[in-house]
Structure 1
Amino acid sequence: MDSFITIRFKRATAKRFQEFSKTHFKSHTEAMATMLDFFFYNEISPREKLGPTGRTIEAKLLKRINAVIAIMRDMEKTQTKPTVAMIESLFQTEEPNKKPLILEKKFMEKKKEVRFKEKGNPNNEL
């Protein structure tokens, strides 16, 4: 069995460490060894800042996502919907009013005239 050594900490720091150790590890020794290994293997100092935290990164991403959504909505209102409406209007076909051509009117009027009459029937009408 390994022997123990006493290290002196301020009371507030010792309480914080004990609470942390109880929630995450089986013993205080295991907690301290794991923390030391973490700093050793990652070659960082406990005094260094690791950069933005997960919360700040998430907040920034949400802001950017909201900005992208706003840009897309604006594009839809100003570009996509008017373009779609113009294209739909091009493809909508209405049947034009059928007006007889001028030549057809003359031809129809000529047809009404009887060109040939029977000799025996004086009231020959169509």
Structure 2
Amino acid sequence: MDSFIGIRFKKKIAKRFQEFSRTHFKSHTEAMGTMLDFFFYNEISPKEKLGPTGRTIEASIKKRINAVIAIMRDMEKTQTKPTVAMIESLFQTEAPAKKPLILEKKFIEEKKEVRFQEKQNPNNEL
């Protein structure tokens, strides 16, 4: 079994470390070893920042999405809708109004159905 050594920490930092260690690891030794390994293998310093956090990334993505939505709405208003309206107006064909022919007379249209017709006799030829 390995022997222990005492290291002096300020009381506030020691309490923070103990709480962190209890929530994530089985022992304080395992917690400290894992943290040291993390910094050693990833070749980073504990003092340097790793970049934006999840909240800042989310906020910037939301801003970009809102900007894209605004651009698309503007394109729809200024380009798409007017273009569609012009294309629809080109393809709309109205039936031309029916104009009567010059030779056609109006009374032909008003012709009434004949109620009585003469019976033609095939034996009676004129």
For 2:82, the equivalent position in structure 1 comes to: 82
For 1:36, the equivalent position in structure 2 comes to: 36
* RMSD, matched Cα: 1.6
Distance 1:108 1:71 in 2: 60
Q: Alpha-carbon deviation of 1:89?
A: 1.4
Q: TM-score, normalised by structure 1?
A: 0.78
Distance 1:74 1:28 in 2: 58
Larger proportion of helix? 1
For 2:47, the equivalent position in structure 1 comes to: 47
Q: Which has the higher contact order (CA 8 A, sep 6+)?
A: 1
Structure 1 unaligned blocks of 5 or more: 110-126
Would you say 1:8 and 2:8 are equivalent positions?
Answer: yes
Amino acid in the other structure paired with 2:41: Y
Distance 1:98 1:47 in 2: 88
Amino acid in the other structure paired with 1:67: A
Q: Alpha-carbon deviation of 1:78?
A: 1.1
For 2:22, the equivalent position in structure 1 comes to: 22
Distance 1:108 1:53 in 2: 86
Structure 2 unaligned blocks of 5 or more: 106-126
Q: Alpha-carbon deviation of 1:98?
A: 1.9
Q: Deviations over 1:53-77 (max 9, x none)?
A: 1211111111011000010011111
Distance 2:30 2:74 in 1: 56
Q: Deviations over 1:77-123 (max 9, x none)?
A: 111111111111111111011224xxx41x447xxxxxxxxxxxxxx
1:39-118 superposed matches below 5 A: 39-100=39-100, 104-105=101-102, 107-108=103-104
Q: Alpha-carbon deviation of 1:51?
A: 1.8
